[in-house]
């Protein structure tokens, strides 16, 4: 599930509040022996750096990006690559977006809109991919579906029931808490606007107030508390309103046992019941922005004077709409992976995940199918700040400690500041089940209707690595998918310092303990290493 939230603190208003989604040292741009002496950037990122930080270079910019710009400047600029199809298994992609419209995959074997399955692949008029969700979007979480099915003998039923009771109470409490905070902030804003006789007062004006009016004094106090988080009262109002939308969606859809979200008419427990859904791969509403954001990270058109630059050029994006506003279905994911493989994708990005998976074997079989057919599958590690070596996290290529695929890459998320807080607080980790880390917090990319926005999550880290995989497959097409994975893992920059884990300042661990490689992905190094493989 793509839902994630970020933490802000309104100290006097409430307690903490949650907002809602083999080393080759000779080619490392920052030498291993110097990595822990790299200067920490003390100045705030400029607007240009904020919008491009994932492409910057650790040594040159003191920002833990993937050296993408350096790769284009020094390696790619005079090379001609091969087109690579990258499948994005996600919510819909706005295929008409100004920064994506020229990089969308088209199925040339299908005659558009003739109502026939011209290529006999089981999907009628699948011109730019497939939509396994139909017209639906809002969905339950998987453990809620287990409870709603009513089969008390189902595996993990009691665990699902306990978790539901805890989560429902937590989100109801959060709803009450935020409604109270919203009222307090709104009242303070109205009081200050009346005091100044204008709505657009400044922080400096508020701090200069001297008055005996208790209502104004209280409003000033609230304003100062909000300002300490780096935002204004007006901005806080907007953030709290957005948080309430997410909270209400969680209660009304994700945790609603009576919700009937599925509209496709298929049997979710029968993998052979195929052909459902439709060919509309776009979002059903503007707020369904996740897939478009992911797509832009991979391959937004580079240097066209618009919005954002993707990691990879020479890419065609295949849109496979599979991830709702809730947990994805195992059946949809399994069929989506197979669809991508069968229709020519050489890289697949999956920015989704959940902790319950009734048909996990279907997805694992599909992951193995991708591996057996020379396809790199990049997956987000998840946003619950957990060690997924012990906490259940799906999908996974792991069965009883043995991996079914040698082309599956699990990615954790980095924050745009080198130092002890380089690991995004929300990011999952795991010495066995996470392979590498990449830029994932505060990432600027495309959103529907020719817009752009900043989002955070391992959902943003995975497509960064998928973009690197696409670059390697484009410029070094003779490498196998397994070699591409190994290049990405081996060429990363090793971080040996201690870092804060899970956003908990008391939990400090060596970065090397958080993933299989102990490294952060680096496009520049990966391309150099790829060039050395015969």
Please tell me whether residues 521 and 466 are part of one structural domain.
yes
Does some domain include residue 283? Answer: no
Distances (CA, A) of 442 to 53, 260, 413, 449, 517: 9, 34, 10, 20, 24
Q: Over 80: is that where the pLDDT of 133 sits?
A: yes
* Paired residues of 151 in beta bridges: none
Please tell me whether residues 350 and 468 are part of one structural domain.
yes
Does some domain include residue 343? Answer: yes
For residue 172, the enclosing domain spans 160-254
Write the DSSP string, 437-463: EEE-SSEEEEETTTEEEEE-SHHHHHH
Q: Which residue has the higher pLDDT, 411 or 14?
A: 411
Does some domain include residue 150? Answer: no
The 10 Å Cβ neighbour count of residue 45 is: 17
Please tell me whether residues 521 and 448 are part of one structural domain.
yes
Instruction: Output the pLDDT for position 327.
Output: 98
Please tell me whether residues 132 and 174 are part of one structural domain.
no
Please tell me whether residues 117 and 179 are part of one structural domain.
no
- Number of folded domains in the chain? 2
Please tell me whether residues 164 and 135 are part of one structural domain.
no
Reported as a pLDDT band with limits 50, 70 and 90, residue 39 is low
Does some domain include residue 362? Answer: yes
Please tell me whether residues 311 and 432 are part of one structural domain.
yes
Q: Mean pLDDT over all residues of the chain? A: 92
pLDDT single digits (tens) 182-217:
999 999 999 999 999 999 999 999 999 999 999 999
Q: Over 90: is that where the pLDDT of 15 sits?
A: no
Does some domain include residue 338? Answer: yes
Reported as a pLDDT band with limits 50, 70 and 90, residue 34 is very low
Q: How far is CA 200 from the centre of its chain?
A: 35
**What's the whole-model pTM score?**
0.90
**Lookup: tokens for 71:** 């790769």
pLDDT single digits (tens) 414-469:
999 999 999 999 999 999 999 999 999 999 999 999 999 999 999 999 999 999 99
Do residues 222 and 191 touch, judged by C-beta distance below 8 A? no
The 10 Å Cβ neighbour count of residue 219 is: 26
As a whole number, mean pLDDT of residues 162-169 equals 98
Q: Over 70: is that where the pLDDT of 352 sits?
A: yes
Reported as a pLDDT band with limits 50, 70 and 90, residue 44 is confident
pLDDT single digits (tens) 484-499:
999 999 999 999 999 9
d(CA 304, CA 159) in angstroms, rounded, equals 51
Please tell me whether residues 90 and 216 are part of one structural domain.
no
Please tell me whether residues 478 and 522 are part of one structural domain.
yes
Does some domain include residue 48? Answer: no
Please tell me whether residues 362 and 218 are part of one structural domain.
no
Please tell me whether residues 133 and 171 are part of one structural domain.
no
Instruction: Output the pLDDT for position 38.
Output: 55
Write the DSSP string, 292-351: HHHHHHHHPPTTSSSS---S-SSEEEEEEE---BSPPPHHHHHHHHHHHHHTT-SEEEE-
423: which residues sit within 8 A by CB, 6+ positions away?
Answer: 412, 413, 414, 415, 429, 437, 499, 500, 501, 511, 514
Question: Percentage of the chain surpassing pLDDT 90?
Answer: 87
Please tell me whether residues 299 and 427 are part of one structural domain.
yes
Question: Percentage of the chain surpassing pLDDT 70?
Answer: 92
Distances (CA, A) of 484 to 62, 73, 473: 27, 21, 7
As a whole number, mean pLDDT of residues 398-426 equals 95
Do residues 494 and 23 touch, judged by C-beta distance below 8 A? yes
Does some domain include residue 466? Answer: yes
* Residue 238 DSSP SS3: helix
Q: Is 188 exposed, middle or buried (0-12, 13-18, 19+ CB in 10 A)?
A: buried
Instruction: Output the pLDDT for position 17.
Output: 34
Q: Over 90: is that where the pLDDT of 52 sits?
A: yes
* Paired residues of 86 in beta bridges: 317, 347
Reported as a pLDDT band with limits 50, 70 and 90, residue 7 is very low
Q: How far is CA 315 from the centre of its chain?
A: 20
Does some domain include residue 35? Answer: no
As a whole number, mean pLDDT of residues 76-94 equals 95
CATH code of the domain in which 440 resides: 3.40.50.200
């Amino acid at each position: 599930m793509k839902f994630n939230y970020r933490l802000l603190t309104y100290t006097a208003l409430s307690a903490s509040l949650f907002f809602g989604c083999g080393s080759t040292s000779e080619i490392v741009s920052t030498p291993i022996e110097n990595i822990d002496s790299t200067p920490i950037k003390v100045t705030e990122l400029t607007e240009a750096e904020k919008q491009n930080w994932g492409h910057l270079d650790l040594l040159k910019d003191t920002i833990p990006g993937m050296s993408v710009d350096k790769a284009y400047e020094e390696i790619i600029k005079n090379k001609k690559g091969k087109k690579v199809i990258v499948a994005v298994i996600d919510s819909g992609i706005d295929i008409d977006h100004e920064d994506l419209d020229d990089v969308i995959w088209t199925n040339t074997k299908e005659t558009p809109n003739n109502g026939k399955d011209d290529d006999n692949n089981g999907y009628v008029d699948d011109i730019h991919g497939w939509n396994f969700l139909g017209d639906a979007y809002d969905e339950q979480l998987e453990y809620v579906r287990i409870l709603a099915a009513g089969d008390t003998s189902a595996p993990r039923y009691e665990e699902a029931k306990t978790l539901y009771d805890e989560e429902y109470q937590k989100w109801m409490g959060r709803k009450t808490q935020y409604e109270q905070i919203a009222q307090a902030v709104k009242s303070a804003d109205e009081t200050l606007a009346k005091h100044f006789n204008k709505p657009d007062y400044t922080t400096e004006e508020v701090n200069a107030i001297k008055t005996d009016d208790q209502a104004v004094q209280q409003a000033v106090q609230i304003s100062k508390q909000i300002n300490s988080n780096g935002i204004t009262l007006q901005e806080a109002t907007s953030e709290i309103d957005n948080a309430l939308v997410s909270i209400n969606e969680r209660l009304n859809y994700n945790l609603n046992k009576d919700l009937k979200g599925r509209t496709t008419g298929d049997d979710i427990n029968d993998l052979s019941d195929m052909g459902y859904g439709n060919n509309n791969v776009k979002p059903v509403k503007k707020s369904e922005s996740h897939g478009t954001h992911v797509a832009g990270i991979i391959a937004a058109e580079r240097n066209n004077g618009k919005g954002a630059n993707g990691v990879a050029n020479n890419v065609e994006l295949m849109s496979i709409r599979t991830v709702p506003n809730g947990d994805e279905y195992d059946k949809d994911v399994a069929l989506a992976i197979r669809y991508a493989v069968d229709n020519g994708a050489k890289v697949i990005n999956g920015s989704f995940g959940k902790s319950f998976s009734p048909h996990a074997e279907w997805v694992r079989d599909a992951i193995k199918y991708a591996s057996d057919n020379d396809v790199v599958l990049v997956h987000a590690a998840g946003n619950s700040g957990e060690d997924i070596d012990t906490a259940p996290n799906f999908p996974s290529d792991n069965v009883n400690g043995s991996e079914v695929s040698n082309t599956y890459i699990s990615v954790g998320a980095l924050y745009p500041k080198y130092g002890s807080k380089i690991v995004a607080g929300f990011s999952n980790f795991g010495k066995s089940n996470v392979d590498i880390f990449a830029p994932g917090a505060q990432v600027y990319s495309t959103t529907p209707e020719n817009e752009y926005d900043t989002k955070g999550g391992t959902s943003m880290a995975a497509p960064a690595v998928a973009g690197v995989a696409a670059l390697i497959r484009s410029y070094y097409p003779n490498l196998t998918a397994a070699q591409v994975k190994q290049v990405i893992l081996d060429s990363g920059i090793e971080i040996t310092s201690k870092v804060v884990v899970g956003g908990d300042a008391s939990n400090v661990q060596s970065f090397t303990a958080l993933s299989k490689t102990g490294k952060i992905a680096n496009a520049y190094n990966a391309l150099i290493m790829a060039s050395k493989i015969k």
